[in-house]
Amino acid sequence: MTITDPLMLGTLAGLLWSLANVWGLARLSTVWLRDGASRTRTLLWFFIKFPCLYAVAIWLLLQPAVSPAGFGIGFTLVLIAAIVVAAVRSTATAHGQ
């Protein structure tokens, strides 16, 4: 399996897109939930997160060199990692660490 294999390219694209998606969600929620949040900054991050990132996802999935199954695998790996990190942080916080 080489990097030019559609499954491999799809997995890499899914990983990178999902990382950008989690990062955008973290930035959006930080700006939105902060006291005295700037409406302009919140709208900017909302625009980056939803229309822009999802347009990139659609464009990637329409590329013949990118496997949608691979994209799903990459997306799922980052999703699982984010859930594990959140669970570990939550447990550490609950135990006062």
Q: What is the reported pLDDT for 8?
A: 94
Q: pLDDT at position 48, please?
A: 85
What residues have CB less than 8 Å from 70, skipping those under 6 apart? 6, 7, 8, 9, 10, 11, 12, 13, 14
pLDDT of residue 1: 65
Q: Which pLDDT score, from 0 to 100, does residue 13 have? A: 96
**pLDDT tens-digit map of 45-85:** 888 888 999 999 999 999 999 999 999 999 999 999 999 99
**What was the pLDDT predicted at 4?**
79
